[in-house]
């Protein structure tokens, strides 16, 4: 049985962190959030990790980041740039930012030939999420159009420092995704979780409402569908400065056209990340607690 691959959206690292040498070490030995994701993926049985990055920090990435994992899991790198589009399309010369998560994932189409997962580099997803995702992907080998998404309980994804935005999942009775609705201003108000409607009205969400944290599972046929839709996107938006092509856009289109199904996988894992600068001490404390509980070793990798 082929081991699934982990694809990590890391092209934004340089801009978000001000350079790779300043990657925020949150663990007891300077581990980053991404280090914990890779450690969890290895434990869950993933056999390869593919990073999408920018050429501007490729040298630092290969010197500083890759050596930590290379002895434990096969690593490959692809690149996302504004110019990484089919040659028939012209680009506005004033555009400086690449074309979004859907575009980033397409950069790996020649590197991934097996079921694969997609995650953000700077989100802490938790061990259980990688376990349920790996189990699904192993069973999906040899199929097409049977995708999945890890759904987090919204109560396990909040920031203590302010409101957040989340994609609230709509599902049928068999837990297959029918739509994702973006909700903003989600926060805990006196023990009740609410989000803010466009008219300013607060609406309550149940703590176990499932939301997307951009943790997907696909079979390789996804690339064929996404490439077609990206070409259509470029025909319509290729001259624009800020339009972006997102993974959920592809997924929603395939669901609506009945070309794919997306199983929503429930997880007990708790997401966390540094949404606000004020979140950092809480994240450090949460990781320290997980180490104390024996869920993670004090030092993740030998290097």
Q: Identify the pLDDT of residue 15.
A: 59
Q: Check: CB of residue 101 under 8 Å from CB of residue 246.
A: yes
Domain residue ranges of the chain, discontinuous segments joined by + = 5-292
Q: What is the pLDDT of residue 85?
A: 85
Mean pLDDT across 241-270: 91
Mean pLDDT confidence for 132-150: 95
Percent helix, strand, coil in the chain, to 5, is: 35, 25, 40
Pick one of 3.90.550.10, 3.10.450.50, 3.30.70.20, 1.10.3720.10 as the CATH number of 5-292.
3.90.550.10
Split at pLDDT 50, 70, 90, the class of 215 is very high
**Res. 19: pLDDT tops 70:** no
Q: What is the mean pLDDT of residues 144-148?
A: 95
Percent of the chain with pLDDT over 90: 57
- The pLDDT, as a whole number, for residue 105 is 97
Name which of 4-13, 149-158, 190-199 the model is least confident about: 190-199
DSSP-assigned beta bridge partners for residue 53: 79
- How far is the C-alpha of 197 from the C-alpha of 92, rounded, in Å? 35
Asked if 261 and 146 count as a contact pair (C-beta separation under 8 A), the reply is: yes
Tell me which residue has tokens 């280090």. Answer: 35
What average pLDDT score do residues 187-209 get?
A: 88
Query: How many whole angstroms separate alpha carbon 97 and alpha carbon 85?
Result: 13
pLDDT of residue 161: 82
Gap between the Cα atoms of 293 and 126, Å rounded: 14
pLDDT > 70? residue 199: yes
**Mean pLDDT, all residues of the chain:** 90
Q: Dump pLDDT digits (tens) for 220-229.
A: 999 999 999 9
Q: What is the pLDDT of residue 301?
A: 87
Both tokens of 295, joined, read 């869920």
């Amino acid at each position: 049985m082929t081991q699934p691959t982990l694809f990590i959206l890391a092209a934004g690292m340089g801009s978000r962190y001000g350079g790779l040498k300043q990657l925020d070490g949150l663990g007891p030995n300077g581990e980053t959030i991404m280090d914990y994701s890779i450690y969890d993926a290895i434990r869950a049985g993933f056999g390869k990790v593919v990073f999408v990055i920018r050429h501007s920090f490729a040298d630092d990435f290969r010197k500083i980041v890759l050596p930590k994992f290379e002895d434990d899991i096969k690593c490959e790198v692809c690149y996302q740039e504004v110019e990484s589009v089919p040659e028939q399309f012209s680009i506005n010369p004033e555009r400086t930012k690449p074309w979004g998560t859907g575009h980033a994932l397409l950069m790996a189409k020649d590197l991934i030939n097996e079921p694969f997962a997609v995650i953000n580099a700077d989100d802490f997803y938790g061990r259980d999420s990688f376990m349920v995702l790996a189990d699904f992907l192993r069973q999906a080998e040899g199929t097409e159009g049977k995708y999945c998404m890890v759904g987090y309980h919204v109560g396990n994804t909040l920031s203590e420092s302010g409101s957040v935005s989340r994609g609230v999942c709509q599902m049928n009775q068999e837990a297959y995704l029918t739509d994702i609705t973006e909700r903003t201003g989600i926060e805990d108000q006196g023990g009740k979780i609410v989000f803010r409607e466009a008219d300013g009205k607060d609406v309550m969400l149940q703590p176990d409402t499932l939301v997307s944290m951009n943790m997907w599972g696909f079979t390789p046929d996804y690339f064929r569908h996404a490439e077609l839709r990206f070409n259509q996107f470029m025909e319509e938006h290729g001259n624009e400065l800020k339009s972006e092509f997102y993974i959920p856009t592809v997924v929603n289109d395939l669901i609506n056209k009945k070309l794919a199904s997306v199983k929503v996988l429930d997880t007990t894992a708790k997401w966390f990340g540094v949404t606000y600068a004020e979140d950092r001490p809480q994240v450090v404390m949460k990781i320290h607690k997980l180490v104390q509980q024996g869920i993670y070793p004090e030092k993740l990798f030998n290097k």
